[in-house]
Structure 1
Amino acid sequence: MVHAEGVRKHFGRLDVLKGIDLTVERGQVCCLLGPSGSGKSTFLRCINHLEKVDAGRLTVDGDLVGYRQQGSKLHELREREVARRRRDIGMVFQRFNLFPHMTALQNVMDAPVKVAGADSAQARLDAERLLDRVGLADRAGHYPAQLSGGQQQRVAIARALAMKPKLMLFDEPTSALDPELVGDVLQVMRQLAADGMTMVVVTHEIAFAREVADTAVFMDEGVVVESGPPRQVLADPEQERTRTFLSKVL
């Protein structure tokens, strides 16, 4: 589903990604771990072309991200085509980014109607089903200001799912939440994983990675230091840098 070969990204003179090689198979959950500033979120944003790759190749479901190839040359896609492909990739950010003037139900059904051209009645039924799926059927008529942070994040997950993505990206989805609200969001993500959704998750929730991930990837200073099954990377890491990091967060 996701394949990265030598992916590089820089901002001015700062090399943020220094040659990322990574593969996520369909139906797998990949958790990206590492200290702040290691390039995790930047790599996640490259997957759906919110950031442009400066070198290397990145594909989602076999399609180059943000580019098309003619012969040996890559040509950047027009924004409309980038947006069309991005519909297949759901993304949930640290901040919920809900429309404050819309109810939870309206937030979830907005993109299917306005972007995908879905029938309004069907989009409403789908949105109600998704809110029920994330445990918020009784909050459909509430505005974001009337919801807790955890509830807003679950609405954001439902909103991303409304476009029926083939891949879900999560950028530290619980980092802005009070500790007591984290569990409900992680439970929704656990259920998505159980349902077979392909997921790439930037997280500091080590226990979640140990329980749910098929692959744990430890990044530092723009490179993949170590990757493999969680039981190996988290319980018996090969690299000293990984061991040092885990000793401080476990």
Structure 2
Amino acid sequence: MTVTATVEPLVKARNVHKAFGDVEVLKGIDMDVAPGEVVVILGPSGSGKSTFLRCINHLESIDQGSIMVDGEQIGYELRKERLVKLGGYAIARQRRKIGMVFQQFNLYPHMTALQNVIEAPIGVHGESRQAATDNAMKLLDRVGLASKVHNYPRQLSGGQQQRVAIARALAIRPKLMLFDEPTSALDPELVGEVLSTMRDLADQGLTMIVVTHEIGFAREAADRVVFMDGGNIVEQGPPEQVIGNPQHARTRAFLSRFI
């Protein structure tokens, strides 16, 4: 997509800090993501990529700064010029806007693919079983699993399980999708089918932030590549710039392992 300055960001992160004990993992992250934009975050292990993703969904609380998604302060609200932590119900409501796919598939082993996808829309968001089922069938078809709707996770390959996880995340009709190393737990021959599904989502205009080491995906699908190291954004820009002609020595050193 082409991102213009007049577009109001769907995600607006400002001066985001996060520490675990004495270890400062995020050191003041600023990032805007426009509606329909695909942002791929690259960086070495321990650079803060996954932590930042988890902060966007308030799976981790931030120590300083702010994260806005679709105009709402995630995890907090402003009361009398003070930020006050939200309760569990309010945070759950905010998370309806945000789908997340993790490294591990985390499917319910006692449920079929279809049952896994309809669980949250019915149990958490109050959809009727018929409406949730109709939508789930469309989503499973969309990720290429129309013939596997009644299969249990143990009957699916790792790539198929991850595609069910993607359908499950899409079932809440999110405005934003977060992917945290979605192919890292897969055998190499299964990576392609998951990346293909993600490319299709990108082509359909879904706003996505993807943490990955898949340089080919970043080059082909990203509107913008962000390189993080040591809790900071080192450089960012179009894939052809950051991957094809990185300006920072740390970025060049990291990419030399893959290219």
TM-score by length of 1: 0.99
CA distance in 1: counterparts of 2:206 and 2:92, whole angstroms: 21
CA distance in 2: counterparts of 1:58 and 1:84, whole angstroms: 16
Deviations 1:20-76 (A, max 9, x none): 011110000000000000000000000010000100111111111100112431111
Number of matched residues?
250
Q: Which letter does structure 1 place at the counterpart of 2:29?
A: I
Deviation at 1:122, TM superposition (A): 1.6
Q: What is the SS of the residue equivalent to 1:106?
A: helix
Deviation at 1:248, TM superposition (A): 1.5
Q: Structure 2: which 5+ residue stretches go unaligned?
A: 1-9
Deviations 1:161-203 (A, max 9, x none): 0000000000000000011101110111001011110000000
Per mean C-alpha deviation after superposition, the further-off stretch among 165-174 and 56-65 is: 56-65
- Residue 247 of structure 2, aligned match among 215, 223, 238: 238
Partner of 2:226: 217
Deviation at 1:121, TM superposition (A): 1.2
CA distance in 2: counterparts of 1:116 and 1:244, whole angstroms: 46
- Residue 194 of structure 2, aligned match among 173, 182, 185: 185
Q: Which letter does structure 1 place at the counterpart of 2:73?
A: L
Alignment pair present for 1:101 and 2:101: no
TM-score by length of 2: 0.95
Per mean C-alpha deviation after superposition, the further-off stretch among 65-74 and 165-174 is: 65-74
Deviations 1:193-244 (A, max 9, x none): 1111000000000010010001100000100000111110001111111011
Q: What is the SS of the residue equivalent to 1:190?
A: helix
CA distance in 2: counterparts of 1:158 and 1:248, whole angstroms: 32
- Residue 141 of structure 2, aligned match among 101, 113, 132: 132
Partner of 2:27: 18
- Residue 17 of structure 2, aligned match among 8, 14, 37: 8
Partner of 1:229: 238
Q: What is the SS of the residue equivalent to 2:245?
A: coil
Q: What is the SS of the residue equivalent to 1:241?
A: helix
Deviations 1:128-152 (A, max 9, x none): 1110000000000100001000000
Q: Which letter does structure 1 place at the counterpart of 2:15?
A: G
Q: Which letter does structure 2 place at the counterpart of 1:174?
A: T
1:58-207 equivalent positions in 2, closer than 5 A: 58-207=67-216
Deviation at 1:79, TM superposition (A): 1.1
Q: What is the SS of the residue equivalent to 2:140?
A: helix
Q: Which letter does structure 2 place at the counterpart of 1:134?
A: V
Q: Which letter does structure 1 place at the counterpart of 2:233?
A: V
Partner of 1:47: 56
Q: What is the SS of the residue equivalent to 2:257?
A: helix
Q: Which letter does structure 1 place at the counterpart of 2:189?
A: E
Q: What is the SS of the residue equivalent to 1:58?
A: strand
Deviations 1:63-112 (A, max 9, x none): 11100112431111111100111011000000000000000000001111
Q: Which letter does structure 1 place at the counterpart of 2:185?
A: A
Q: Which letter does structure 2 place at the counterpart of 1:97?
A: N
Query: Identity, % of aligned pairs?
Result: 63
CA distance in 2: counterparts of 1:246 and 1:71, whole angstroms: 47
CA distance in 2: counterparts of 1:248 and 1:119, whole angstroms: 49
